[in-house]
Amino acid sequence: MNRIELLAPAGDLERLKIAVLYGADAVYIGGKQFSLRSRASNFDLEAIEEGVKFAKAHGARVHVTVNIIPHEDDLEELEEYLKALERIGVHAIICASLSVVRCAKRVAKNLEVHISTQHSTTNSKAVDFWKSEQADRVVLARECSLDQIKSVAQHASLPLEVFIHGGMCISYSGRCTLSNHMTTRDANRGGCAQSCRWKYRLLEKDEFIHDDKHLFSMSSKDLMAASYIQDLIKANIASLKIEGRMKSPYYLATVVRAYRMLIDAIYEKSLDDEKMKMILDELSRSENRPTANGFYEGLPKAYDQLYGVNGAGVTQEYIASILEYDKKSHMATIQVKNHFEMSIPVEVFGPDHTHAMTLNPCYDENGAEVEVANKPMQILKTRIDFEVKENDMIRKIVDKSDRHVY
């Protein structure tokens, strides 16, 4: 049996590298063309090629989303684009349109074709259909329960991928036109304005139900499926997918590292209650909305949604990233990410280590001691007594009760 794949999102090259370094087996990215979220993508063909080289050098694969529902004029450059992706060594494309699947199988036979969750595949007969179209993998709809996933997997004629972490739609994924209606931005062509998460005033006939302080929103809590990973491995699922191409490097590092630890512990048969608690705690430290089980236990309940607030929150725990480390002097060059004071308790972590320490004095480029780091992106130097590497991160140690207060 193949080991299950941990598949992480990346919005740019920096995040692709972080995802790979922190343990992703594969990374999915959106190109500037033919991709949902294409407007936010930094991945032109040159950047995709650099990402593929980096991933391959670290034993990882790159999947590229080609998942818009194409209109007639989108088709013109599609063949050349797919050939270019194949030429530069992309492993797979993620498609939501039969015409793109057929085109890829005709002009770029070495690209695996994965069927996007936008297609809402929820049963093995639909998987059989994609097999007959020569697809290589199907991403199941996020609206499947664990029992349904197991049942589809038992009869599936293709490898399956499922979502395990990240943002959810309040509507059925890939079927929502709220954004199209409210803003003319097409959710199925990469333009979702997240209209479900806006704040609304509800009327019952002519009377407002809420006052101005208690406006209505329809935000879903984010998915967090760590407790189901053992079952998904047993069900022979091929790939576990983390959502969030727009998420920060810190989010990616934290979430990818936690699932890497979890998956490895399951295969090594070393997962116990203490390790699971540590992994869940790690996941709670990523900047995020409150989390829920999504559809894993069946239809989400009222408490799986956020009706009063939109729930977006950014943690201030992540204070700096490591740019360089001098082993002789033990001095690290760091880049400030969030405001911090000196002599606070921090954790320095990387893909395979976490060290608690008290933050030593920091010095600016003129060698002057800094009392408070309050300039994001400022470069400072500080002493760290153990070896750290580029792309390691520093975060505050905060009381758990201070987290996720939105």
What residue type is assigned to position 122 of the chain? T
Least gap, CB of 143 to ligand SF4 (angstroms): 12
Whichever of 187 and 271 has its CB closer to ligand SF4, that residue is 187
Whichever of 196 and 320 has its CB closer to ligand SF4, that residue is 196
Structure tokens at 316: 């201030």
DSSP 385: S
Whichever of 49 and 243 has its CB closer to ligand SF4, that residue is 243
Give the chain's count of helices (H) and strands (E): 10, 24
CA-to-CA distance for 195 and 185, rounded, in angstroms? 10
Residue 401 Cα distances to 35, 285, 398, angstroms: 39, 12, 8
Beta carbons of 64 and 41 less than 8 angstroms apart: no
Interface segment toward ligand SF4; rule CB under 6 A; list 33-41, 173-181, 299-307, 394-402: 173-181
Q: Which of 60, 162, 170, 393 binds ligand SF4 (CB under 6 A)?
A: 170
Interacting residues with ligand SF4 between 99 and 128 (CB under 6 A): none
Contacts of 206 (CB under 8 A, 6+ apart): none
Residue 325 Cα distances to 246, 339, 391, angstroms: 29, 22, 11
SS3 275: helix
176 counts as binding ligand SF4 under rule CB under 6 A: yes
Interface segment toward ligand SF4; rule CB under 6 A; list 27-35, 44-52, 141-149, 175-183: 175-183
306 counts as binding ligand SF4 under rule CB under 6 A: no
Interacting residues with ligand SF4 between 185 and 224 (CB under 6 A): 187, 192, 194-196
Q: Report the Cα 18 to chain-centroid distance in Å.
A: 12
| Backbone phi and psi for residue 260, each to the nearest 5 degrees, phi listed first | -60, -45
Whichever of 165 and 381 has its CB closer to ligand SF4, that residue is 165
Longest CA–CA separation in the chain, Å: 73
Interface segment toward ligand SF4; rule CB under 6 A; list 55-63, 128-136, 170-178, 295-303: 170-178
The residues pairing with 6 across neighbouring beta strands, listed in sequence order, are 240
CA-to-CA distance for 131 and 239, rounded, in angstroms? 17
Q: Which of 10, 55, 93, 169 binds ligand SF4 (CB under 6 A)?
A: 169
96 counts as binding ligand SF4 under rule CB under 6 A: no
Q: Which of 146, 149, 164, 178 binds ligand SF4 (CB under 6 A)?
A: 178
Least gap, CB of 184 to ligand SF4 (angstroms): 13
Q: Which of 120, 145, 171, 230 binds ligand SF4 (CB under 6 A)?
A: 171
Contacts of residues 355-363 at CB distance under 8 Å and 24 or more positions apart, as own/partner, are: 355/386, 356/397, 357/384, 357/385, 359/394, 360/384, 362/334
Least gap, CB of 35 to ligand SF4 (angstroms): 16
Q: Which of 33, 117, 124, 179 binds ligand SF4 (CB under 6 A)?
A: 179
* Residues near ligand SF4 (CB under 6 A): 169-171, 176, 178-179, 187, 192, 194-196
